[in-house]
């Protein structure tokens, strides 16, 4: 989240940023709530000072009243009378302070909720726009393949080669679940190994994360697990717990260091995490989202970086370079998108997407998103309370966090099947994956489904 002091100091810029991002947030209410919070704190401090003064004056009044008095019973009576007189006043002050404290807690909760609705600021070079049409293509790599036969989409290929069973998945778990079978199962393992090995060579620490996380961790990353609107929530909550299934290892990798103070000398800290991802995907279905493109569960290899503010721009470009290298190694044509303001998620300061060419998408092929990488500056770290210290600086400051998809298996698998299909109905396996799959191609066959 943004710092309240920053919002107050840059009110017009924050409002303009919300408009550019097409986000409805009551920025003025943040200022009003912060004003009320400050007023309550000041009023409570005055009353607490009065209570302290009353306590001191009670003792002084008793000492003055019993001065020279010798009779123990009389002294006892005087003490009791003064204590009763002052006690009533003290009780009234105490009740007032307690009421103010309760009110302050409520205001602080409301303030936190209001601030949480305000998105991160945006990189000045990000394109301004409200729809996907406003995204900017900044690079293209590879040429879409020209087929000398009519190419199939991945759903037809999965059916003919017995690589996925969508019917069994729907029967067992519901729509948008699936079984990967035969070489598709091996390709998932191969893609995970390929991505993990690539990132380890780049100096990233490999991690297998939990597939669940606490609600407050999801909120810290920028998800809305408590939102009653399923299109905004996008995650599965586990009944009778404070846990949710994770939608990405970004959640668990980011939460791994919450409430920690890091040494700036060892930053950046770079991780590559493996997890299953679970998403409600409440949006409307369509031809371009069928099959493996948009599903409720998939495996993903995710990159995550904790760094100083000075390092985050270079770290973001590194994540993009690694993503590009992975897809170049797979031999899949792609384009890089500089995401417009209206398509940015709340925490992202800037986001790049990789869109791979998918011959079965749309009419005659189209690019479809396969990875993204976001620089979230200190937006997530402020929520998760992740700070860094340096001997050259007094106090601590919030770190910057960045994330990027190395491989989302279902999207990469889709692109491989469609781009590497052959006229005889088989599929050539990308060379970099063959050591794990154990063969060069998937041959046509007429086997019974697994």
14-26 tens-digit pLDDT? 999 999 999 999 9
Q: What's the structural domain count of the chain?
A: 2
The C-alpha torsion from 134 through 135 and 139 to 143, rounded to 10°, is: -80
Write down the pLDDT at residue 96: 85
Report d(CA 118, CA 23) in Å as an integer.
Answer: 8
Per the CB < 8 A criterion, the answer to whether 258 and 303 are in contact is no
Q: Does 170 share its domain with 203? A: yes
Q: Does 92 share its domain with 144? A: no
In a domain, 288, yes or no: yes
Q: What is the pTM of this model?
A: 0.90
Q: Does 220 share its domain with 361? A: yes
Give yes or no for residue 78 having a pLDDT over 70. no
Report d(CA 318, CA 202) in Å as an integer.
Answer: 10
Q: Does 94 share its domain with 210? A: no
pLDDT band at 446 (very low <50, low <70, confident <90, very high): low
pLDDT band at 86 (very low <50, low <70, confident <90, very high): low
Write down the pLDDT at residue 93: 78
In a domain, 311, yes or no: yes
From 88, 116, 144, the end of a domain falls on: 116
In a domain, 122, yes or no: no
Report d(CA 299, CA 322) in Å as an integer.
Answer: 19
Write down the pLDDT at residue 70: 64
In a domain, 127, yes or no: no
For residue 347, give the CATH number of its domain.
3.30.930.10
- Tokens representing 84? 């009763």
Range of the domain at 80: 4-116
Give yes or no for residue 200 having a pLDDT over 70. yes
Residues catalogued as catalytic: 279, 294, 369, 372, 411
**Which of these, 280, 406, 271, 349, lies nearest to 17 by C-alpha position?**
349
For residue 38, give the CATH number of its domain.
1.10.287.40
303-351 tens-digit pLDDT? 999 999 999 999 999 999 999 999 999 999 999 999 999 999 999 999 9
Per the CB < 8 A criterion, the answer to whether 313 and 194 are in contact is no
């Amino acid at each position: 989240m943004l710092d309240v002091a920053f919002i107050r100091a840059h009110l017009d810029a924050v409002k303009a940023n919300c408009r550019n991002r097409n986000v409805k947030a009551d920025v003025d209410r943040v200022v009003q709530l912060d004003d009320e919070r400050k007023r309550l704190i000041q009023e409570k401090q005055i009353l607490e000072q009065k209570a302290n003064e009353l306590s001191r004056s009670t003792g002084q009044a008793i000492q003055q009243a019993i001065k020279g008095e010798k009779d123990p019973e009389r002294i006892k009576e005087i003490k009791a009378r003064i204590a009763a007189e002052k006690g009533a006043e003290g009780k009234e002050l105490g009740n007032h302070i307690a009421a103010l404290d309760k009110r302050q807690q409520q205001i602080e909760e409301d303030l936190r909720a209001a601030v949480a609705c305000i998105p991160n600021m945006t990189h000045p070079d990000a394109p301004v726009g409200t729809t996907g049409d406003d995204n900017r293509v900044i690079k293209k790599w590879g040429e879409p393949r020209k087929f000398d036969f009519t190419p199939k989409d991945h759903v037809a290929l999965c059916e003919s080669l017995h690589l996925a069973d969508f019917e069994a998945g729907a029967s067992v778990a519901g729509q948008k679940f699936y079984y990967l079978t035969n070489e598709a199962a091996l390709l998932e393992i191969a893609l995970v190994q390929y991505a993990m090995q690539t990132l380890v060579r780049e100096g990233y620490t490999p991690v297998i994360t939990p597939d669940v996380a606490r609600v407050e961790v999801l909120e810290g990353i920028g998800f809305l697990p408590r939102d009653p609107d399923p299109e905004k929530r996008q995650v599965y909550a586990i009944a009778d717990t404070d846990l949710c299934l994770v939608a990405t290892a970004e959640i668990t990798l980011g939460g791994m260091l919450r409430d920690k103070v890091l040494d700036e000398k060892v930053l950046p800290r770079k991780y590559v995490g493996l997890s299953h991802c679970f998403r409600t995907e409440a949006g409307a279905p369509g031809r371009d989202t069928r099959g493996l493109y948009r599903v409720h569960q998939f495996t993903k290899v995710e990159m995550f970086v904790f760094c100083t503010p000075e390092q985050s721009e270079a770290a973001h470009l590194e994540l993009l370079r690694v993503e590009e290298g992975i897809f170049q190694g797979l031999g899949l044509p792609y384009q890089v998108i500089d995401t417009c303001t209206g398509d940015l998620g709340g925490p992202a300061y800037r986001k790049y997407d990789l869109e791979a060419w998918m011959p079965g998408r749309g009419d005659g092929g189209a690019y479809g998103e396969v990875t993204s990488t976001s620089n979230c500056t200190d937006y997530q770290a402020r929520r998760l309370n992740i700070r860094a210290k340096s001997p050259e600086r007094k106090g601590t400051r919030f770190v910057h966090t960045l994330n990027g998809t190395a491989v989302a298996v279902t999207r990469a698998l889709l692109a491989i099947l469609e781009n590497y299909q052959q006229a005889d109905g088989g599929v050539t396996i990308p060379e970099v994956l063959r050591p794990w799959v154990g063969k060069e191609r998937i041959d046509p066959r007429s086997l019974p489904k697994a």
